[in-house]
Amino acid sequence: MPRGELRGLRVLIVDDKATNCAILHQQVIAWCMRNGTAADGARALALLHAAAAQGDPYDFAILEMQLPGMNGLELAHVIKYASTLAGVQLLLLTSIRRPCGRVCFQEAGFAACITKPMHHLLCTTVSQQ
């Protein structure tokens, strides 16, 4: 997907680290995408469900692997099995090169994995969707 086609897409950034959220926010805004942020899985689910109910669902959710309470894989499983959130593409954000086996990653519903530091990887990953 060319960068211009990202314009207007809605992205939820789920990370408990303010610095990571700020970096991703700047990237998303630079590509004319709309974003929201959540510091944990419970808040992310509330935002995802509210957006879907309002008829303006998120297109992507970038989930940090190490979240408080519920990690990124657990959150992905909840999102994957919520019928109202079926259209949300999931991207895993992690500092671990291979956070889990390929089967685990795919079963969780992730379309791609973004390894920190992010730099240009986000554009490449989102553009491949």
Of the candidate CATH numbers 3.40.50.300, 3.40.50.2300, 3.40.50.1100, 1.10.3430.10, the domain formed by 3-127 belongs to 3.40.50.2300
**The predicted structure's pLDDT at residue 17:** 92
**Distance separating alpha carbons of residues 46 and 16, to the nearest angstrom:** 16
**DSSP letters of 41-103?**
HHHHHHHHHHHHHTT---SEEEEESS-SSS-HHHHHHHHHT-GGGTT-EEEEEESSSSSS-HH
Contacts of the segment 98-101: beta carbons below 8 A, 24+ positions apart? 99/65, 99/72, 99/73, 100/73
The helix (run of H) or strand (run of E) holding residue 25 is helix 18-30
How does pLDDT run across 36-78, given as a tens digit for each residue?
Answer: 999 999 999 999 999 999 999 999 999 998 899 999 989 999 9
- Which one has a higher pLDDT value, 4 or 95? 95
Residue 8: both structure tokens together: 């207007």
In this prediction the pTM is 0.83
Task: Classify burial at 14, counting beta carbons within 10 Å of its beta carbon; exposed 0-12, middle 13-18, buried 19 or more.
Answer: buried
Domain boundaries, the chain: 3-127
Model confidence at 113, in pLDDT bands (50, 70, 90)?
Answer: confident
Task: Classify burial at 103, counting beta carbons within 10 Å of its beta carbon; exposed 0-12, middle 13-18, buried 19 or more.
Answer: exposed
